[in-house]
Amino acid sequence: MKGQRVTRRCAILFVLAFYSAGSHAQELARLLQHGDDCFARQATEEALRYYDQANTLSPQNSETLLRLTRTYCDLGWIHLRTDTSAQSYYLRAAAYADTLLLLNPNSPPAHFWVSLTQGSLIPFHSISEKIHIGKEVRFHAERAIEIDSTFAFAYVILAVFERESSQLSWFERTIARVIFGADIQGSLSHSEELLEKSIQFDSSNTYAYYEMYWTLMAMGKKEAAVESLKHVLTLPVKSQREGRYHLLAQNYLARIDSTGE
């Protein structure tokens, strides 16, 4: 009789645990879906509130960490042009990206987000620190591609790295030589090739077309640059940041039309 009571109690506990786990998973999925809906309609701050709740409910969940990293990084980029809070957003994004990579060391998105968030912090550092961070940025972008050669966004980071490296001063090149252990020349043509590869793997990549504009302008290919900027406007807007890219593209095109520059 006593044995039967123990068995029945264990069965009840198992059922309660099963339904509790199911309810937990459903709530997490609900929060993430609401956050995704907000993010897609460019309500980034509202999306962040849902993702923060999801993180409280299930800390170190990779799907949540990915969304938190992306959202904080986007908010950093948006606030960089409006107020002084950008660095704090980028620091939060970088912290979440580090945790994501720790949990998923062979994940291309994890390496990409570490690369992007670290690169986003470059404007807040000294020249030598910028170049040191640049080494980490390139490493993680290359690692993402090494794991998945079709990971389009990582090519954009490397393309920007090539373009910016081509414009370093002699002093910056000297520091880079010490940090990288080799000359860092940078190549605009290689930047263009990397962006073409990114577009090849993701033809709806707003960031690749936008950065292609800057690379082509640096190469003196104005007509091709303008076409790349026009293409940005044909792509669907999937986030507030992409919406801002559309506005920037419109403004640049309007300026080119009015001044010819």
Summarize pLDDT for 75-126 with one digit per residue, the tens: 999 998 777 889 999 999 999 999 999 999 999 999 999 999 999 998 888 8
- Contact (Cβ atoms closer than 8 angstroms) between residue 24 and residue 58: yes
- Mean of pLDDT over the chain: 87
Query: Percent helix, strand and coil across the chain, each rounded to 5?
Result: 80, 0, 20
Burial class (CB in 10 A: 0-12, 13-18, 19+), 212: buried
Residue 174 has pLDDT above 70, yes or no: no
CB count within 10 Å of CB 91 equals: 16
Instruction: Pick the more confident residue, 129 or 56.
Output: 56
> Can you give the pLDDT at residue 80?
87
The rounded distance, in Å, linking the Cα atoms of 232 and 246 is 7
Residue-range definition of the domain harbouring residue 89: 29-106
Count of domains observed in the chain: 1
Residue 37 is assigned to a structural domain of this protein: yes
CATH number at residue 89: 1.25.40.10
Residue 224 is assigned to a structural domain of this protein: no
Q: What is the pLDDT of residues 52-71, one digit of tens each?
A: 999 999 999 999 999 999 99
List, in order, residues 6 or more apart from 49 with CB less than 8 Å away: 35
Residue 87 token pair: 């660095």
Residue 177 is assigned to a structural domain of this protein: no
Residue 178 is assigned to a structural domain of this protein: no
Residue 11 is assigned to a structural domain of this protein: no
Residue 85 is assigned to a structural domain of this protein: yes
Q: What is the pLDDT of residues 231-246, one digit of tens each?
A: 999 999 999 999 999 9
The rounded distance, in Å, linking the Cα atoms of 255 and 168 is 27
Residue 60 is assigned to a structural domain of this protein: yes
Residue 121 is assigned to a structural domain of this protein: no
DSSP annotation of 83 reads S
